[in-house]
């Protein structure tokens, strides 16, 4: 049979490739972005209890009401944005599903979607599968801040949506209030929808506030906002996320969602609803928890040949390896896992066209101290 692929540029993701290499070479895996520790014991106990109580059948398509209501209350507490749990909150099978559903709900054949490079690798395939074209605009390579004039220059009559991500994967940059104002002005001028990937919303450092688009009334009225319980509660394998959007946008989002997964793992929804309500301190303490890991990892790498870039949020450390090698970043990561015993992710995997001469890799520091110490010892020995 002849198959004409819908995704000719797509192969196996770099995260899978590097994790497989790490396993083959018994390397310390700082590549794929998942913790090597479990979530709160009370959450796992709540999951077991939900299963024991028989909460094992289909959940409502939009999500268990108790969870949607908990999300709505948390959103108002954190961002001052009152959302309707029944019509504006949808629980999804991970944030990646939510991103796909939002794009599928809005993007039509021939539409353009602006994405800011480096960007998460699921964005462009979702856009292309729905008949659109991703228009890549590079962030400033020195600090990964957005150049709003450059972004504005990329808008055409075909532009339908702009996709933003803060705290940023892979680079750890975060928006400030001025960025939200600039985004709002751009969206208003060109009547754009906004898709805001905020899966690391609770991981912002150095006393900064997470600048969710939900803090900005004008943006909230035209945006899909996506978050992830996996990132917040250290349970990425549960694959539970959610999307907040105005009623009209949520209605279109749900039309897609119901035919992607219909509903999400029921016991986990009940457990997460309980966790949000009974232990809000968990997500309030998350910035300090991960900032300590960031600082620990950076201290461990002091004196190494890696130049560490600033990290304002999320749980990734970008490092310049040019003092070690002039190889491209994919070749360097392959060498590093085989010869250095540590897995990392090449930053070029997040670009359409990476800057010439860029020598950057991403390490994940969402790891136990022993893991970070072992990795750092190997990295300092290079």
pLDDT digits (tens, 9 = 90+) for 328-365: 999 999 999 999 999 999 999 999 999 999 999 999 99
Beta bridge partners of 228: 241
Beta bridge partners of 91: 242
Residues 278-299 have a mean pLDDT of: 98
Domains and CATH numbers, the chain: 14-39+282-380 (3.90.1150.10), 57-279 (3.40.640.10)
Map tokens 């966790």 to a residue: 275
Name every residue whose Cβ is closer than 8 Å to that of residue 204 and which is 6 or more positions away in sequence: 167, 174, 210, 287, 312, 313
Question: For residue 32, is pLDDT > 90?
Answer: no
Q: What is the pLDDT of residues 109-133, one digit of tens each?
A: 999 999 999 999 999 999 999 999 9
Global confidence as pTM: 0.97
The span from the CA of 214 to the CA of 220, in Å, is 5
The span from the CA of 252 to the CA of 256, in Å, is 7
The span from the CA of 298 to the CA of 306, in Å, is 10
Mean pLDDT, the chain, rounded, equals: 97
Q: Binning pLDDT at 50, 70 and 90, where does residue 293 land? A: very high
Q: What pLDDT score does 2 carry?
A: 87
Q: What pLDDT score does 26 carry?
A: 93
Going across the sheet that includes 193-197, the strands are: 89-92, 241-244, 223-228, 193-197, 159-165, 112-117, 133-138
């Amino acid at each position: 049979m002849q198959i004409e692929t819908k995704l000719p540029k797509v192969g196996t993701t770099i995260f899978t490739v590097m994790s497989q290499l790490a396993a083959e070479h018994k390397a310390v895996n700082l590549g794929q972005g998942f913790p090597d520790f479990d979530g709160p014991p009370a959450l796992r106990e709540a999951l077991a209890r939900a299963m024991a109580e028989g909460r094992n059948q289909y959940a409502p398509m939009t999500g268990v009401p108790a969870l949607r209501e908990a999300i709505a209350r948390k959103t108002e507490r954190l961002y001052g944005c009152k959302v309707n749990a029944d019509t504006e909150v949808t629980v999804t099978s991970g944030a990646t599903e939510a991103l796909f559903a939002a794009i599928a709900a809005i993007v039509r054949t021939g539409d353009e979607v602006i994405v800011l490079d480096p960007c998460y690798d699921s964005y462009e395939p979702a856009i292309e599968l729905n008949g659109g074209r991703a228009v890549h605009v590079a962030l400033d390579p020195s600090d990964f801040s957005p150049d709003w004039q450059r972004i504005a220059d990329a808008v055409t009559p075909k532009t339908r949506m702009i996709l933003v991500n803060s705290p940023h994967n892979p680079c750890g940059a975060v928006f400030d209030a001025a960025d939200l104002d600039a985004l709002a002005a751009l969206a208003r001028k060109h009547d754009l929808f906004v898709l805001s990937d905020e899966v690391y919303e609770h991981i912002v450092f150095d006393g900064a506030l997470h600048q969710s688009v939900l803090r900005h009334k004008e943006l909230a009225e035209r945006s899909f906002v996506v978050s992830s319980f996996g990132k917040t509660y250290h349970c990425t394998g549960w694959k539970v996320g959610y999307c907040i959007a105005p009623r009209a946008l949520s209605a279109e989002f749900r039309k897609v969602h119901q035919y992607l997964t219909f509903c999400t793992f029921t016991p986990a929804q009940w457990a997460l609803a309980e966790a949000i309500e009974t232990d809000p301190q968990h997500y309030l303490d998350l910035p300090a928890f991960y900032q300590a890991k960031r600082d620990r990892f950076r201290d461990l790498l002091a004196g190494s040949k890696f130049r560490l870039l600033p990290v304002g949020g999320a749980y990734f450390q970008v490092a310049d390896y040019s003092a070690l090698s002039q190889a491209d970043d994919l070749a360097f990561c392959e060498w590093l896992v085989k010869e250095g015993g540590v897995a990392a992710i090449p930053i070029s995997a997040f670009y359409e066209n990476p800057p010439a001469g860029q020598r950057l890799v991403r390490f994940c520091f969402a790891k136990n101290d022993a893991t970070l110490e072992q990795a750092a010892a190997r990295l300092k020995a290079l």
